[in-house]
């Protein structure tokens, strides 16, 4: 059983993601906990996180046949690559303490901004496009993921927070759902890292196996697209697996997956409400109910609503012949720009989390959380396959 521990103000220990995530609730760290503010340390810490972000995004451009996206990218998200590189760099004995102020600043500022801008990729009409049957199966999938993980956590002696993060990551959209949920349940940084790693690995396995199983079962393109969209954890993995099966399957899987992501905000709220009620019934200190719907989630919803209403424009500028710059077309898409900035911010913040993670803490977690996540994923895949075979030709 993992013991959740937050890093203290000891200057040799640094600051953990749990402290970073507090700022997403509008809180500030006590003055006594802040490291000395040095401009050089700030610049170095930001530069280090930025460098890891650039490398992660670059590695993401490498293709892995046949599971690659239309853009040529492979489906292992930059978030996971950044965490891995951050953990490795943070555990090889480098003296990173002078950089803590910059690393902390990146995680505190970049993560909430990234979650807010993530809403620009969503369109609430996607929920309507999957139909009533798709919506019901999506809700079944989410409830199953959370209920099974909580049940297994109690049977295996896991922390409820770790189980909740893995359940949310399995139910919605992998690492993004995990980092969005972590603040409302006061999750530890090690729980965040282990949860992201678990759902990423399980998603990769499902990405590779589902097309093979679908072929053996002779599933239709539409049926497989629904199955992949509901069963695989992360969006790039869903797209890669869907299009590996066929174009129609890929398009269907993408729409179903985006419909799942649209439910991120209400699920975060419900998980936060459940956690707050649990603390209150256990006699804990007064619960901050205002934090059940953090400001960054409101921003996420606002961006998604603006996208759904067509308020995020795509601009096109045509320069006439004879101009100083010559005749050319210039296009700028606000939704696309917001998505790219969101990706950069989330990857940078997860690089910072990786830099603050220690192998000792991860080793204490053991294999049980991964086993629980594997059992949950297998049960969900089987249950959804049964429902799809009953309802989809």
Instruction: Give the 3-state secondary structure of 134-184.
Output: HHHHHHHHHHHHHHHHHHHHHHHCCCHHHHHHHHHHHHCCCHHHHHHHHHH
Inform me whether the pLDDT recorded for 47 exceeds 90. yes
pLDDT-derived band at 69, boundaries 50, 70, 90:
low
Question: For residue range 164-211, what is the model confidence (pLDDT) as tens digits?
Answer: 899 888 888 777 788 888 878 888 877 888 888 888 888 888 888 898
User: What's residue 12's pLDDT?
Assistant: 36
Q: Tell me, what's the pLDDT at 16?
A: 42
What does the pLDDT average to over 114-131? 79
What is d(CA 1, CA 326) in angstroms, rounded to the nearest whole number? 66
Asked if pLDDT for residue 15 goes beyond 50, the answer is no
Question: Rounded to whole angstroms, what are the CA distances from 140 to 5, 128, 175, 205, 227?
Answer: 33, 17, 20, 22, 13
Helix axes 221-231, 368-391, angle to 10 degrees: 150
Listed range (203-207, 218-222, 304-308, 314-318) with the worst mean pLDDT: 314-318
Half-sphere exposure of 364 (CA within 13 A, CB side): 13
Provide the pLDDT for residue 322.
63
Query: Is 292 in contact with 327 (CB distance < 8 Å)?
Result: no
Say if residues 174 and 234 touch (Cβ distance below 8 Å). yes
CA 388 to CA 138: how far, in whole Å? 12
| pLDDT > 80? residue 334 | yes
Query: Do 241 and 215 form a contact (C-beta atoms < 8 A)?
Result: no
Contact 191, 169 (CB under 8 A): no
pLDDT (tens digit per residue) in 92-102: 878 788 888 88
Banded model confidence at residue 341, pLDDT cuts 50, 70, 90? very high
Residue 21 has pLDDT above 50, yes or no: no
- Using N-to-C axis directions, what is the helix angle for 78-90 and 189-216, rounded to 10°? 140
Model confidence at 241: pLDDT above 70: yes
- pLDDT tens across 243-275, in order? 888 888 888 888 888 888 888 888 888 888 888
- Inform me whether the pLDDT recorded for 25 exceeds 90: no
Question: Per mean pLDDT, which of 37-51, 81-95, 376-390 is the most reliable?
Answer: 376-390
What are the φ/ψ torsions at residue 314 (nearest 5 degrees)? -110, 120
Among the ranges given (3-12, 123-132, 212-221), the one the predictor scored with the smallest mean pLDDT: 3-12
Residue 29: its pLDDT value, please?
42
Tell me the percentage of the chain whose pLDDT exceeds 70: 79
pLDDT at 382: 92
Query: Which candidate, 240, 245, 208, 228, places its Cα nearest to that of 134?
Result: 228
- Is residue 242 left, alpha or beta, with left meaning phi > 0 and alpha meaning psi from -120 to 50? alpha
The CA distance from 304 to 266, in Å, is 13
Q: Give me the helices (H) in the chain, please.
A: 17-22, 39-59, 78-90, 100-118, 125-129, 131-156, 160-171, 175-181, 189-216, 221-231, 235-245, 247-262, 264-281, 295-308, 334-355, 359-365, 368-391
Q: Which of the pair, 153 or 33, is modelled with greater confidence?
A: 153
> CA-to-CA distance for 246 and 368, rounded, in angstroms?
36
Query: What is residue 31's predicted lDDT score, i.e. its pLDDT?
Result: 43
Are residues 164 and 150 in contact, defined by beta-carbon separation less than 8 angstroms? yes
**What is the pLDDT confidence band of residue 276, given thresholds at 50, 70 and 90?**
confident
Q: Which of 222, 40, 64, 16 is closest to 131 using CA atoms?
A: 222
**Cα 314 versus chain centre, distance:** 26
Average pLDDT value for residue range 117-137: 79
Q: Is 229 helix (H, G, I), strand (E, B) or coil?
A: helix
pLDDT of residue 52: 93
pTM score, two decimals?
0.71
User: Whole-angstrom Cα distance, residue 52 to residue 90?
Assistant: 12
- 8-31 burial, b for 16+ CB within 10 Å, e for fewer? eeeeeebbbbbbbbbbbbeeeeee
């Amino acid at each position: 059983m993992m013991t959740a521990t937050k890093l203290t103000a000891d200057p040799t220990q640094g600051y953990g993601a749990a402290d970073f995530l507090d700022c997403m609730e509008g809180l500030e760290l006590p003055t006594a906990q802040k490291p000395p503010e040095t401009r050089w340390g700030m610049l170095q810490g930001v530069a280090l996180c930025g460098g890891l972000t650039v490398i992660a995004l670059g590695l993401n451009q490498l293709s892995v046949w046949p599971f690659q996206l239309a853009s040529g990218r492979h489906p292992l998200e930059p978030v996971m690559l950044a965490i891995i590189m951050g953990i490795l760099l943070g555990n090889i004995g480098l003296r990173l303490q002078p950089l803590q102020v910059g690393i902390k600043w990146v995680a505190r500022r970049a993560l909430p901004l990234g979650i807010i801008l993530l809403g620009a990729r969503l369109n609430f009409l996607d929920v309507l496009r999957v139909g009533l049957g798709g919506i019901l199966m999506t809700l079944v999938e989410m409830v199953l993921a959370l209920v099974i993980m909580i049940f297994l956590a109690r049977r295996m002696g896991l922390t409820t927070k770790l189980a909740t993060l893995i359940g949310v990551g399995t139910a919605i959209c992998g690492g993004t759902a995990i980092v969005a949920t972590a603040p409302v349940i006061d999750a530890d940084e090690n729980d965040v890292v282990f949860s992201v790693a678990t759902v990423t690995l399980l998603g990769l396995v499902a990405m590779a196996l589902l097309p093979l199983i679908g072929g053996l079962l002779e599933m239709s393109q539409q049926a497989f697209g629904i199955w992949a969209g509901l069963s695989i954890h992360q969006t790039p993995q869903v797209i890669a697996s869907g299009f590996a099966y066929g174009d129609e399957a890929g398009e269907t899987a993408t729409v179903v997956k985006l419909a799942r992501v649209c439910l991120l905000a209400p699920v975060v709220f419900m998980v936060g409400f459940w956690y707050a009620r649990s603390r209150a019934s256990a006699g804990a200190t007064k619960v901050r109910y205002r934090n059940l719907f953090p400001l960054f989630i409101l921003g996420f919803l606002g961006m998604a609503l603006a996208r759904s209403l067509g308020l995020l424009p795509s601009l096109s500028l045509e320069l006439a012949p004879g101009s100083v710059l010559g005749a050319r077309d210039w296009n700028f898409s606000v939704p696309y720009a917001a998505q790219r900035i969101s990706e950069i911010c989330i990857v940078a913040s997860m690089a910072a989390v990786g830099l603050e993670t220690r192998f000792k803490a991860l080793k204490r977690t053991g294999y049980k959380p991964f086993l629980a996540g594997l059992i949950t994923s297998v049960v969900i895949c089987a249950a959804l396959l049964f429902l799809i075979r009953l309802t989809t030709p």
